[in-house]
Amino acid sequence: MALKSFIEVHPDSHFPIQNLPYGVFKPEPDSEPRPGVAIGDYVLDLSVIASAGLFDGPYLRNSDCFSQPNLNKFSGLGRPAWKEARTTLQKLLSATEPILRDNESLREKALVPMGKVQMVLPVAIGDYTDFFTSKNHVRNCGLIFRGPDQEINPNWFHIPIAYHGRASSVVISGTDIIRPRGQAHPAPNGQPYFGPSRKLDFELEMAVIVGPGNEFGKPVDVNEAADHIFGLVLMNDWSARDIQAWEYVPLGPFLGKSFGTTISPWIVTLDALEPFAFDAPKQDPPPLPYIAEKESKNYDISLEVSIVPAGKEDGSIVAKSNLKHIYWTITQQLAHHTSNGCNLRPGDLLGTGTISGPVHESVGSLLELSWNGQRPLSLDGTARTFLEDGDEVILSGCCKGDGYSVGFGKCSGKILPSPL
């Protein structure tokens, strides 16, 4: 019999009892932030549940992790504590359990309508790394910038490529993004100029939220890497393609990326995603032993990008992709990150890089959709090559189960004009 909650959850909801993603919210604008889980159209206040003594297992009984303003402490406790919390919460929220269902006073304190809360960043992000793991995206970028003779650099098939990003400009879904200014090179023989980006883009990504870290100098075994992953979020790594193209040689992205990265508010755990896991495709050539997995998993997560053009009410779907299109798994990414002894910490953010599928409609950026501005696309009659001021980009992601969905909600941001 399928697990069912006493809280009514619409069949299309991203947040059934099978999901229970973690986030941090304010019930009132002047409230202190506190951890919660999403269930249907409600947020369950975990500080209330903890204060009521309902986390009574060995890992959480004496912990103050749900009295914190972020999820770093809880994420750092590791998989046994996460499993204990999930078991407790699914029992409390189940249709057959009276403890919360029949206690009106506790229910009113613990369950807050989602429409009334303000979501904030779920973790304090100490460090942020962005990978480059979608073969289709890598190939498309190679064709655009280098031509068919060098679609993909040879090292890409051996090493999960990444760069270290800027954690301070990671923002929560719904935060406006100011069009960045920077240097760009308009033509092969022209002079560089400084001004607002003329090629502002989105990037459809997902990202790992790191759980327990590793000691400085001690790499994580790739076959144990999943124990260091608290969960996944949606991510839009906004990109100024003109600024990026001028600055990235020889050291890689800088101001073309660091102006803003948006993540969704709800962290979906690997336990919730387990029904949607499948064997990752064989990698050719075989990976080096340190990132060769005994069991290599990917996840079937359908992803979608919509753009609401400036001045319009309705959005247009511009891309449909899937996390399954990444070449290097999230566990390989994490293990490789630590392979030199780099220490990860709870709350660190590891982006997958742009996720593009094999067909045009499944690519994860306007760079690819418009082929670097050469092929305008139509948003219900409105032409776009790159983002204009006032445009809103909305990412969504969801897994379809048997009669339920496990989703991430949305990850959105609107472009504001560059300051004078």
Just list the catalytic residues.
Answer: 137
Spell out the alpha helix ranges (H) of 202-260: 241-247
8 A C-beta contact, residue 303 and residue 396:
yes
Please state, in angstroms and as integers, the Cα–Cα distance from residue 206 to each residue in 321, 352, 408, following that order. 11, 6, 10
Which among 167, 159, 80 is positioned nearest to 350, based on CA atoms? 167
- Dist. CA 133–CA 99, nearest whole Å: 46
Which among 175, 157, 210 is positioned nearest to 351, based on CA atoms? 210
Cα 340–chain centre separation = 25
Please state, in angstroms and as integers, the Cα–Cα distance from residue 20 to each residue in 55, 59, 264, 334, 378, following that order. 15, 19, 15, 24, 37
- Dist. CA 58–CA 83, nearest whole Å: 12
The DSSP bridge pattern shows strands 297-299 and 302-308 to be unpaired
Sheet holding 392-400, edge to edge: 177-178, 405-416, 392-400, 302-308, 316-322
> Which tokens hold the place of 62?
């004496």
Token look-up 């100098």 returns: 217
- Dist. CA 308–CA 391, nearest whole Å: 6
Token look-up 């190939």 returns: 139
How buried is residue 98: exposed, middle or buried, by Cβ count under 10 Å (0-12/13-18/19+)?
exposed
Which among 290, 298, 295, 291 is positioned nearest to 324, based on CA atoms? 298
Per-residue burial over 144-174, b if 16 or more Cβ lie within 10 Å, else e, is: beeeeeebeeeebeeebbbbebbbeebbbbb
